Structures are given as C-alpha cells and as structure tokens.
Amino acid sequence: MRSTRSRGRAGLALVASLPLVAGALALGVPAAQADSGPHDRQALAGTKPLWATPSADRGTVAASNTVTARVYLAGQDAKGLAAYAQAVSDPKSKSYGKYLTAKQAQERFGATKAQIAKVTGWLTASGLKVTGTNNHYVTVTGDAAAAKKAFGTELHNYTKDGRTYHAPAANASVPASVDGAVLTVVGLNNAPRLARHDETLPPPSAAFVNAGPFSSHYGSKTNDSLPSAYGSHAPYAIKGYTGKQLRSVYGAKSYTGKNVTVAITDAYASPTIAKDIAEYAKRNGDKGYRKGQFSQVLPADYTHTGTGEGGCDAAGWYGEETLDIEAVHAVAPDSDIVYVAGASCQDDDLIDSLHKVVDGRLADIVSNSWGDIESNETPDVAAAYDQVFQTGAVEGIGFYFSSGDDGDNTVKHGSKQVDTPSNSQWVTSVGGTSLAVGKGDKYLWETGWGTHKATLSKDGNTWEGFPGTFTGGAGGGTSKLVQQPFYQRGVVPDALSKLNGATPMRVEPDIAAVADSSTGFLVGQTQTFPDGSQKYSEYRIGGTSLAAPVIAGIQALAQQARHGVPIGFANPGIYDRYGTSAYHDVTDHPLGKNQGLAVVRSDFANSVDAKGGVVTSLRSLGGDTSLSATVGYDNVTGVGTPADDYVTSYVPGHRR
C-alpha cells in the first residue's frame, strides 16, 4: 500500500459519540508533463509532497534502504479518456449516454501489453524488482539507489508532525522512452505507513444503544418540564427514520430501483452482515432480500486491522458497511447490492476495490462513505483516483462520496478545507441536512446539517452554555487544489468558487440528504456488549455516510425511471436540474431567520444502559461552522435535496 495515508470512515456519526471523519480526493493532474529537468525525461507532477520542504529536510536516505512503490499506467490516451468521460456525461453533448463496455474502455483507453512491457523493462533495468503487474499498475521494490536511478530523484528524510519520513527531493520523472505510459508513481513517500499483515478480522466493535424517550416523527413527543429554547419547548429526537419515511420525503413514488445495481465500497467486511441486514429488513418493514440480491466481493486477506498508529480499526468499519447497505436497501428495495471490500483503509487498497467495480462493470452506482482532508492528499494519489472515476464515467458508472462530518474542518483540523476524494471533479459530493419528517411521512423542512450541543444543568432549569459546542456538520467549501468543473459554471456563485483567489475552484458538495445523527436513520447491527456477548441491536445514526447511500438509492430509483438507462457520472445532470422543482432548496432557517430549531436528546452515559445515568442535551440545528445553507446553491447542501419531482425528472421526455 503505497498511498500510506489511512482513509477515515467518511461521515459515520453515531448518536452519543463524536462523528467520525468523512468523505477522500481527486485532482486530475496530467499523466506526465515536461518541466525544467533533463530533456530525455518527463516529470510526474505532484510526486514530491508539499510537506517535503527545505526546512524539514534531514538529509539523503541511505542508498541501501528498501523502497516499495506502485507505478500507475496512463493507458493509451489519458487526455482522450477525460474528454470522453465529460462528453458522455453531459446532457448537452452529442455523445451523451453513449457508454462503452468495460472491454471497449480497456481496448480504447487502457494500457497495452506493449506499454506494460516497456514500463516493466525500464523498472527492472533500473535495478528494481517487479512484484506485481495488472492492467492498472506495476508494483516494485528495491533499494533507494535503484529508486533514484528509476525515478530521477534522491529520496530524503523529512520531519512531519514530529516524525521522520522519506520522500522525493524533487518530483519523480520517467524516461521519455516509456512514451507517456506512466500516469504517476505512488509510494516514494512513506508518511505514514504500517507494514503489518493480518488475515483475521476482529469481532464486532463495542455496543452503542440509544436512550429514550423518542419521537416517532418530528415533534410527536415533547417534555414541557424541560427548559425552553428558541421560544418553545423542543421535541425529543426521533428513534430513527426508516426507509418508508425517507422514500416519502425524497419522492420515491412507486419506483424501487428494480434492475439497477448499487455497489458499496468500504474497508474490511463485517462477519455478521448477511444476518444483520436480513434482520433489519424484517423488523423495520423493508422488503426482504431475494436470493442473490446481496453479494460480496472480498479480498483474499486483510492488512492494517489494528487500532494503533497506521491501523485502520477494522471493527469500526463494520457499522459503516452495515449503514450503507441498509440505507440503500431501505430507499431502493429492489436494487441489487454488491459490497466490494478494501483489504485496508489505505488508498491503494481502496483504489483496488474501485478498479474491481469498473473492470467488471459490477454496478451502475457506487456509494463511498470514506475519505480524508484535502491537505493530506497528494496529486499522485489524486491522479490514480481520477483515472478510475473517468473510466467509470465512460462505462456509465457514477461515484458518490460523502462530503465529510466536520464542517469546514477548522474545529478538528485547524484550517478551512474540503474533504477528498469528494473534491474530485469526477465524483458526486454528497452533503448533509437535518431533516424533519412529520405525521403521515410528510416532508416538513430541512436545515443544513450543523449541530451544537448544550447539556441540561444539574438543577434542570437551563441548557448550559446554550447553544453549546459544535458536535458535527456537513463537510463542504472551496477546494484549494481542484479548479471549477464545467458543470458548476453559472450555478456556483463567484463568492464561493473564488473564495481563495481569482481562479474559480471546485466547491463541495453537489447534492445533499439527511445526515444529522439527531434526525438520523435507524440501523441494526451485531455489537459486542460489556458482558462479552455479541447480539443484534438497533440505534440511530447519521453523518454524510448516511447521506451518500441515501442519494445512491435515490439515483437507483431515477435510473429505473429512466427506463433502466444508466445515469453514469451524475453531476452534469444534477446541475442541469438546478433551480427546478426537482429540489428542496435547503436553508439554515426554514421557518424564518429568527426562528431557531432544536431537538432534545437523551444518551446513556456509558453508551449501553442506564447504570451510569442518562445525559440530557439540547441539539440546536442549522449552524455549520463557517459554512451556510442559503437560498440557491450553497456549500452545505449544494443544489439542494431531492424533492417530489426529482426521480420523475429522469423519465424520458419529462419537461423540467
């Protein structure tokens, strides 16, 4: 695994704990471009990380040090791939919807045997040992002296975050003789990396249980003895919305996602997933799974399963996987679902899972609830992601990524930045809302997701520090790395796209759905309880890792409405519907600027039962750090959330 950064579960926000990190990156850098280096070599842009500065330089790496890298192949026509990916996805293009099969995409854009042989010959001639080869990359290992010969740069030691890592002293380069066959090389820097191998997955993670009381729908239960807020008594949080409620408010109508396949990618694989999703459907009124409707594509083994430095906390991913599958099935009960697991949460393993979807054309829609912050991304890794997304686009596959759970990231990471790969111009970034579903499954309102917590005072008379501390909010904002894509022009205000300078940049998210854990989704999963027992239980959950599979499910309904024709890369069509009745235009103050909104939450202090007491708090809604949900496009909810006309807007001949 040469991307060496662990991806976080993108937007899995539990009800009593802090939300987990959401949403990863993709920039779209050229495969190889000339620079001021020797005329017989081509530089690979972005292979020297930004943190490899002169002030952090601690000298040259010993020539005998071992280096392992993954050399991604550019294929036959990298520029042509990007151009066709745009044309086939743009409703205004003559090539719109003229998708290629996976075989056709490989034949037209993929690496040839001759290119692979040429790259392999160059690497072995440099003294590196080839340890693996496929149609996407060549993996190599060798000493630092061989790496210098192959990639035209020394490796130096650099300090980063109090530790020392190696990285190229200059951008890596490749001989002109390989003739543009190399997209990028990943792994010449090793920050951070843990070379641990484990074939056994851990048991389910520690249990979490919601305390009551609950509302069955928004506003159905209120305790008038609690302190008021915003001029009235706030209702108790819901127990957790179900598929029936979400289908109603997001315009599912009679569509069920029939004949559409949704893929879900995460790291690892819950050993109880088949049993859990069947039990959840049975208990919550969802349609039972027919034979073969749910399937899994799993790696031969797993790595980085632990919780220490460089570990991915494998058990922590089980809840993410469970949420994603149950949410898709709840919204699109007839869609086939294929779960494609990464061997770890490292970039290379997650990219491998995405390659499996594209190479095998396993699905039409891919939901991804994981990611990282943009400052941790490097252009080399971004290029590898973008190549997968572009190839998927030409095959009619759309990728959906959570936008993140920490708002503008200032509270948790200290600076305003977006999440990745949801900042890629080739994916649909899914933001989040707080959702009110009323009696009879009626849509009442949504705010941009941004929640503050104030705890009930000991005497029960006030909400301490009202409105309290920020606990989570939808990721969004303006990328510092990715320029504005064509579909955002004329929709995203200059005040957002030019926030960081004169050049318009990519703004996240593109679309949104429910994400606030206080107005979240009911999920069912096998958990490990304090007495050591493992049993199925249900709890409310949120995060943009809820929003992403909800939108993926809705897109499955839309594809069915489109008579089964794949939507593919959805953003051009999503923005083409901007300003129509297809969307709820979500704002932070749906009931008026002077009317605040909140719910009351009761949580077990020990997360499982009342033995340690119950903590009662007020959760104020609609305050997402520096981000704001406003009239029109905004950096919390994008163009908005699907309204009653969204799915039917995809019916052929429908006039918007």
Segment 535-561, tens digit of pLDDT: 999 999 999 999 999 999 999 999 999
Looking only at the bridges linking them, the beta strands covering 302-303 and 365-368 are unpaired
* pLDDT value of position 14: 44
Nearest-angstrom CA–CA distance, 619 and 628: 17
* pLDDT value of position 4: 36
* pLDDT value of position 6: 58
Decide if pLDDT at 623 tops 70: yes
* pLDDT value of position 37: 46
The dihedral over CA atoms of 135, 30, 7, 187, expressed in degrees to the nearest 10, equals 70
Residue 446 and residue 602 in contact, taking contact as beta carbons nearer than 8 Å: no
* pLDDT value of position 452: 97
Residue-by-residue DSSP string for 327-374:
HHHHHSTTSEEEEEEESSSBHHHHHHHHHHHHHTT--SEEEE-EEEEG
* pLDDT value of position 175: 95
Instruction: Give the residue-averaged pLDDT of 296-305.
Output: 94
Question: In angstroms, how far is CA 573 from the centroid of its own chain?
Answer: 20
Residue 318, φ and ψ in degrees, nearest 5: -60, -40
* pLDDT value of position 9: 60
For residue 141, what are the β-bridge partners? 68, 129
Q: What is the pLDDT of residues 373-386, one digit of tens each?
A: 998 888 899 999 99
Question: Which pLDDT band holds residue 195 (cuts at 50, 70, 90)?
Answer: very low
Nearest-angstrom CA–CA distance, 645 and 559: 14
Nearest-angstrom CA–CA distance, 145 and 491: 51
Candidates 476, 483, 479, 489; CA nearest to 503 is 483
Cis bond before residue 421 (omega within 30° of 0): yes
Proportion of the chain above pLDDT 70, given as a percent: 92
Predicted TM-score of the model (pTM): 0.93
Nearest-angstrom CA–CA distance, 265 and 320: 10
Proportion of the chain above pLDDT 90, given as a percent: 85
Nearest-angstrom CA–CA distance, 15 and 517: 6
Question: Which pLDDT band holds residue 649 (cuts at 50, 70, 90)?
Answer: very high
* pLDDT value of position 46: 86
Q: How many CB atoms lie within 10 A of CB 609?
A: 14
Calculate the average pLDDT of the chain: 91
Q: How many CB atoms lie within 10 A of CB 626?
A: 12
Task: Retrieve residue 33's tokens.
Answer: 């471009």
Q: What is the pLDDT of residues 15-59, one digit of tens each?
A: 333 223 333 333 333 344 433 345 689 999 889 988 899 999 999
Helices (H), 13-77: none
Residue 630 and residue 476 in contact, taking contact as beta carbons nearer than 8 Å: no
* pLDDT value of position 21: 31
Indicate if the alpha-carbon torsion angle 507, 542, 550, 449 is positive or negative: negative
pLDDT greater at residue 13 or residue 127? 127
Instruction: Give the residue-averaged pLDDT of 154-182.
Output: 92
Instruction: Give the residue-averaged pLDDT of 133-151.
Output: 96
Nearest-angstrom CA–CA distance, 433 and 290: 32
Question: Which pLDDT band holds residue 60 (cuts at 50, 70, 90)?
Answer: very high
pLDDT greater at residue 42 or residue 463? 463
Domains and CATH numbers, the chain: 8-24+201-650 (3.40.50.200)
Q: How many CB atoms lie within 10 A of CB 153?
A: 21
Question: Which pLDDT band holds residue 12 (cuts at 50, 70, 90)?
Answer: low
Three-class DSSP labels, 139-175: EEEEEHHHHHHHHCCCEEEEEECCEEEEEECCCCEEE
* pLDDT value of position 39: 63
Nearest-angstrom CA–CA distance, 614 and 246: 29
* pLDDT value of position 161: 80
Helices (H), 405-543: 410-413, 494-497
Question: Which pLDDT band holds residue 284 (cuts at 50, 70, 90)?
Answer: very high
Of 22-36, 440-454, 458-472, 481-495, minimum mean pLDDT range: 22-36
Instruction: Give the residue-averaged pLDDT of 126-131.
Output: 96
Residue 471 and residue 245 in contact, taking contact as beta carbons nearer than 8 Å: no
Give ∠ CA 450-452-456 in degrees, rounded to 5.
155
Instruction: Give the residue-averaged pLDDT of 316-337.
Output: 97
Question: Which pLDDT band holds residue 8 (cuts at 50, 70, 90)?
Answer: low
